[in-house]
Amino acid sequence: MRFDYKKILAIIILTLFCTWIIPPNNIAFAHQISVNSYSAIIIDQKTGRVFYEKNAHEPRRIASITKIMTAILAIESGKMDETVTVSNNATRVEGSSVYLKPGEKIKLRDLVYGLMLRSGNDAAYAIAEYVGGSVEGFVFLMNEKAKQLGMKNTHFANPHGLDDHEDHFSSAYDMAILTKYAMENEQFREISSTKVYRTPDPKGNWDRIWRNKNKLVTGLYKYSTGGKTGYTKRAKRTLVSTASKDGMDLIAVTLNTPSSTDWDEHIQMFEYVFDHYQYESIIKNGKIKKIEDKVYKNHAYLDRDFIYPIKKNEKEQFEINYRLIKPKKEWRKKEDEIPEIIGKTEIYFKDQLIHTMPIYYKHGKKKHNSFFDYFSIIFGSVIGVHSND
């Protein structure tokens, strides 16, 4: 049997090349699940660790998942209990609607529920006019918030996600960052996870009943905690979803999904992470034993643990560096002059800096003045010798 060594060599080179350019996490995911969406990502909500990504930083049209930004800005406005008068322009917005009426008076809170559960474009417009003073003013707020959150591949042009502007886009990674931020807000978490919401209909005999369009929330996935759906002809299907199991909180985003496979893609991604990762304490709080400097020894400490989600075989891939302020000579005798923060801890994972933590100095108990000390202070104050310096 003759071997074609050139073909074998080519296969080996190709395999090594693919291993080099594709993150190991992506390779593992590719063997376990199928992601047909053009862009996808799943991250840990607590730490931001990226478990899997596919074209995650490429700007794409995002459709109605835009409304996550609209919702969090409305919540943070502090006006949720105020009453909004719906304008004619708001009722004329095309697409999905909660069927607001011109001149209708409705609580901002109800509008946000209609926005998130039913994806009401009319609700988005009414929120933007009220919170931002105008749609243009609200869009400015959206982009300012995006900058603050580090959403580098994002630009908002409207509050609803319709394809009425060419410069309205984001990336899977940026939407994950936004959702991570939004999920830190208790009101947002509550709204996002609501299955059914009732609100009065001003001209009807019955309450409006809004059921969440997110099938993951309404029963398809028992660990679902929220999210937002989206669709336009140009963006195709978009989906942001969150899930929690055994204390682990995850965020998944898919963009430009050609069919309704996105529900299954999100479940597969969630299940893979839940099955293969767990939180581990990488650094524990308390005294840092490795610091040998005479000034800092037995006084340098961390005020909290650092927890990170990892696989069983990843524990050895962390490197911890302690960087300290160079102590002054006089600090050996004047402990009170040593600052509270004396440096920082750098945590590297797979040769990448993932987190920093301050290093604190634990000062000893304040020395009690003796009778002679008190006498000296009193005497000094009388003759003008004592100084507070």
Which residues are known catalytic residues? 64, 67, 119
Q: What is the rounded distance in angstroms from the CA atom of residue 275 to the CA atom of residue 294?
A: 46
Closest CA to 362 of 270, 296, 273: 296
Residue that the structure tokens 């963006």 belong to: 235
* Tokens describing residue 201: 């209909």
Q: What is the rounded distance in angstroms from the CA atom of residue 171 to the CA atom of residue 255?
A: 8
Task: Return the sign of the alpha-carbon dihedral for residues 139, 140, 146, 148.
Answer: negative
In this structure, are strands 306-310 and 278-283 parallel, antiparallel, or unpaired?
Answer: antiparallel
Closest CA to 353 of 308, 296, 313: 308
